[in-house]
Amino acid sequence: MKAREFVIAVCAIGVFLVPPVLAAANPFMSEGSTFCDQRKPVRDFGLSGLPPVREAPESLKGLGYGAVTMYGGWDRVMSEPYPFGYGFSERRYDGSLPLDWTVSAQLWAIDRRGSDLEEVDRDELFIGRLSAASQPKIEVHPPEDRRGFYRFDMQIVGSEGREIASYSAHFKVVQPSWRPRLRLNRTVVRAGERLLARLENLGSRTVSYGESFGVERRDGGTWTPARDLLRGRWLMWLGLLGPGGSGKCNSLSIPPDTPPGSYRIVKGVGSDRWPKGREERLVAPFKVVEAGADIEY
């Protein structure tokens, strides 16, 4: 299962996807630590316990169809049932590509061990000629009244009746849940060192967030802004973090002259119902100690 994240930049004329180079160039973002690795989900909702299947590749170049690409199959954890499937496109953009394919798909309800319970939906698609202007899609629909594991099976058959390829994918329909958290790579940091923070989504609702965050200092029983710890500017983008995913790291450099004490990072997040959805202020406490202090990890 791959947890997916989308980042959208916001500007005066609208929104657009942020290129990876732009996001990595910001000094507050840190991708050089294993703590910031986004490839492994923080929660897989039991999908890793299912038997392995042959996943659909993005390109069918290995089958001799280099111009044909597939897209879709992203949502492996659903907080409500909605269609699952793949679309087909081609990259030549110079006319149409003759295929004469029959694409079939079946959706199976399965148990937690991956054993078939029953077939709940099926679909069939014929692709005569494929072009960039026409991108056919095959998809199946999980039932409205069943939550649990599913397996999507797809077969591609050529004009002579020979199977060209077959692929499968697992996904799960779960109860809606809202469980974002802000996690630090350490809870005690020396003055002069760096602290990393990342957003994690343990729930099934998509979480929206930006790059900005705040820092507060505990002063006489009250949390007050520690603006001296924040330097630089924030990039204006909107990140969408899917179920089980982790967001891009924030990096906080603690100046050498920072007074020891209790601090916390504060970060605002929103739900997938944005702009009218739920909003929450996440906090992650940490302590600053003197530069030469011993720390037990």
Is the omega angle on the peptide bond into residue 275 within 30 degrees of 0, that is, cis? Answer: yes
pLDDT digits (tens, 9 = 90+) for 257-276: 999 999 999 999 998 664 55
pLDDT of residue 79: 92
- Give the mean pLDDT of 155-164: 94
Q: How far apart are CA 128 and CA 143, in angstroms?
A: 30
Q: How far apart are CA 219 and CA 236, in angstroms?
A: 31
- What is the enclosing helix (H) or strand (E) of 27? none
pLDDT digits (tens, 9 = 90+) for 30-86: 445 688 988 889 999 999 999 999 999 988 888 888 889 999 999 999 999 999 999
pLDDT digits (tens, 9 = 90+) for 75-134: 999 999 999 999 999 887 777 889 999 999 999 999 999 999 999 999 999 999 998 888
Percent of the chain with pLDDT over 90: 67
**Over the chain, what is the mean pLDDT?**
86
**Alpha carbon distance, N-terminus to C-terminus of the chain:** 31
Identify which of 214, 185, 215, 217 has the alpha carbon closest to the alpha carbon of residue 198: 185
* Residue whose token pair is 């993005």: 58
Non-local (6+) Cβ contacts of 176 within 8 A are 79, 80, 203, 204, 205
Q: How far apart are CA 239 and CA 93, in angstroms?
A: 31
For residue 279, what pLDDT band results from cuts at 50, 70 and 90?
A: confident
- Residue ranges of domains in the chain, CATH in brackets: 5-43+177-289 (2.60.40.1930), 47-173 (2.60.40.2550)
Which residues are bridge partners to 86 per DSSP?
72, 138
- What is the enclosing helix (H) or strand (E) of 228? none
Pairing of strands 77-78, 163-173: parallel
pLDDT of residue 134: 85
Q: How far apart are CA 19 and CA 35, in angstroms?
A: 22
The CA radius of gyration of the chain, in Å to the nearest whole number, is: 23
pLDDT digits (tens, 9 = 90+) for 11-34: 333 333 333 333 333 344 444 568
Long-range contacts of 61-68 (CB under 8 A, 24+ apart): 63/164, 63/165, 65/99, 67/91, 67/92, 67/97, 68/97, 68/99, 68/130
Identify which of 203, 228, 222 has the alpha carbon closest to the alpha carbon of residue 280: 203
pLDDT of residue 235: 84
* Cα→Cα distances 288→228, 263, 264, Å: 14, 7, 10
pLDDT of residue 96: 85
